[in-house]
Amino acid sequence: MIFSIWRFNPEKDTSPYFQDYKLKKIPQGTTLLDCMNLIKWTQDGTLTYRMSCRSAICGSCAIKVNGHAILACKTQVSNVIKDGKVKIEPLGNMEIIKDLVVDLGPFWERIEKIRPWLMPDESERYEKERYQSIDDFRKIDESSTCIMCGCCYSDCSSLDVDKVFLGPTALAKGQRFIDDSRDKERLNRIRELSDKGGIWDCTHCGECSERCPTEARPLERITSMRRTALALGIINNIGARHVKGFVDSIAHSGRLNENILPIRSMGIFNIPGLMSLIPIGIRMIMRRKNPSIIHRSIDEVEDIRRIVEELCKRLRKG
C-alpha cells in the first residue's frame, strides 16, 4: 500500500509536496494512525503530525484523508485505501506549521468568543451542586460529545470564504451552553450568536455533520439555535428576516414571492442593503431570470396555511 503524505518544512522547503511511503502486509484492524506511526518509526523520523490518546477522545490526530477530514486513530486503513493508495493532507482552513501539523490558534480563538463556560445565577444558593433533570441534559447531550478535533472546522465551506464566521465547532459548543438549564445567560448568548459571523452565516452544506466523528453533528446544533432565536423573537438580522419572510410568503400564497423576499430579508429601512440589491436585480432582468411581477396563490392554499400554523405552534413550544 502506498501512503502519499503532504510534506512541508518551512525551514527548508519553498513549497509543499507529496512524498510516497510503502507498507506491506498490513493486518486486518490496523488503523490509519498505526500506519503513520509505523512509517515514522521505521522509515522517516522527520514526518511530523499530532497524536495522543489513540482512542478517538482527544481529537489530536485529525487530518485530511482523500480530501476529507477524519480522525486517524478511529479510521481503519482498509476503509480509505483506494486502488492501493491513500492521500494524506493537513486539515483545511488552517495555516500549516509543518507537514500535517496546523496552527490551531484561530480555531481556539473562535471557541473562546462564545464563552465556553457555565454562567449560573449566583444569587441562587446550593449546598452541593446544581441539579439537572434527565430531559434537560438530553438537550445538550449530543453537543457535549464534541472533542474539538477540528474536523468540521477543516471542511467548512463557509469558513473557506468568510473569515469572520465563527465556524461549526464554536457554534456547536455555543448550543451546549445556550440550552443548559443551569446557565442564566441564554438570551444574551443567542443574541450574540445571531450577529454577523454567527448562526445565520452557515450555508447548510452539511459537511460539518458528515465529518464529525462524534454525535455532536454541528449542523443540527446550528439549526437548533436558529429555532431558539426565532422562538425568542430575535429577528433583527438578515438571516432571521429571510426565514420569516419565506414562511410568511408560503403561508400567504403557497408560493415563494421572490420579488418581496430580498426586500424583507434586507429590511425595509436598511437603505445600503436595499441599494446593494439593485445590480443583482438588473442582471436578472437582462438575463430574463426575474420572477413574474404578478404573484398568484396556489389552489387549496388554506391547506398550506394550516400546515404552516401548526409548524409555528411547535416552534414556539420549543
Structure confidence by residue, pLDDT tens digits, 82-100: 999 999 999 999 999 999 9
Amino acid letter, 262: P
Amino acid 47: pLDDT: 97
Residue 31, strand partner residues: 76
* Model confidence pLDDT, tens digit, residues 296-315: 899 989 999 999 999 888 87
Counting Cα atoms < 13 Å in the Cβ hemisphere of 114 gives 26
Determine the residue type at 313.
Answer: K
**Intervals of the chain under pLDDT 70:** 318
Domains of the chain: 2-102 (3.10.20.30), 105-231 (1.10.1060.10), 238-317 (no CATH)
Distance CA 224, CA 218 (A): 10
Q: Which residues pair with 280 in a beta bridge?
A: none
How many residues are given for the chain? Answer: 318
pLDDT digits (tens, 9 = 90+) for 216-259: 999 999 999 999 999 899 999 999 999 999 999 999 999 999 88
pLDDT at residue 318, rounded to an integer: 61
- Residues 199, 243 contacting (CB under 8 angstroms): no
pLDDT at 150 (0 to 100): 97
Longest dimension (CA), the chain: 72
Of the CA atoms within 13 Å of residue 265, those in its CB half-sphere come to 15
Exposure class string for 142-162: b at 16+ Cβ within 10 A, else e? bbeebbbbbbbbbbbbbbeeb
In whole angstroms, give the CA distance from residue 119 to residue 264: 36
Q: Which residue type does 88 have?
A: I
**What is the DSSP code (8-state) at residue 26?**
P
Residue 152 CA to residue 134 CA, distance in Å, equals 28
